[in-house]
Amino acid sequence: MPKGIIGKKIGMTRVFVEDKAIPVTVIQVEPNYVVNIRTPEKDGYSAVVLGSGTKKEKRTPKPMKAIFEKAGVKPLKTLAEFPLKEGEEVQLGQEIKIEDVFEKGDLVDITGKSKGRGFASAMKRWDFSGFKKSHGSRYHRAIGSIGACSDPGRVWKTKRMPGHYGNENITVQGLEIVDIIPEKNVILVKGSVPGHTNTILKIKASVIANRRKGKRKLERAKAAYAS
């Protein structure tokens, strides 16, 4: 089985575990199908390409149609590549379910596109403190000096300044799976994830689960959500 799956953000709510209210994000996992398989012999590594969501056939390019026809599935809207678990294999066109990939208490990394906030000031975009709020000051939310006059005499690249804020891919690591509801194709993840409602998310096995803190967090999550 792959180490990840494609989902869609539905919203946020809360659940009660041992008389404690836990904020969770509700993620709906529509049917995922195996569209392509990467092999070490052909591609140099082992992975699987999953597809999810319906797409009109007339809007599908011919090369992609051939790939979908070979897999025996209808055109899919979203594609994502995930590594395969060691010693496991999948077949073209196979449906991947939530319970096949994850279980309660697992740690996952979730990638999604954040909300777009348009043009924002440096205080909102970079959390600058601003200038004095007292009387007599003419500058309250200004950015201040952005460079010296003599040396270097220019504005450095990557200088934090006002500009476009949001609408970029963000990954949140080490989120706990509180519950999985297979009959509703829903997964509940502790905390918030990037994006607005209906944002497409990539849910992957956490890369920090093998670290010292990650192992302790995983053990606590398994114990808390075991029942």
DSSP annotation of 2:
B
Q: Three-state DSSP class for 53?
A: strand
pLDDT tens digits, one per residue of 34-51: 998 888 888 888 889 999
Structure tokens at 136: 């007599």
Write down all domains in the chain, each with its CATH number in brackets: 4-116+167-224 (2.40.30.10), 117-165 (no CATH)
Radius of gyration of the chain (CA): 23
pLDDT of 189 reads 93
pLDDT of 29 reads 92
pLDDT of 222 reads 81
Q: Inform me whether the pLDDT recorded for 60 exceeds 90.
A: no
Q: Average pLDDT in the 149-153 region?
A: 81
pLDDT tens digits, one per residue of 174-220: 999 999 998 889 999 998 999 999 999 999 998 888 888 888 888 88
The maximal CA–CA distance of the chain, rounded, in angstroms, is: 72
Predicted confidence band of residue 227 (pLDDT cuts 50, 70, 90): low
Mean pLDDT (the chain) is: 88
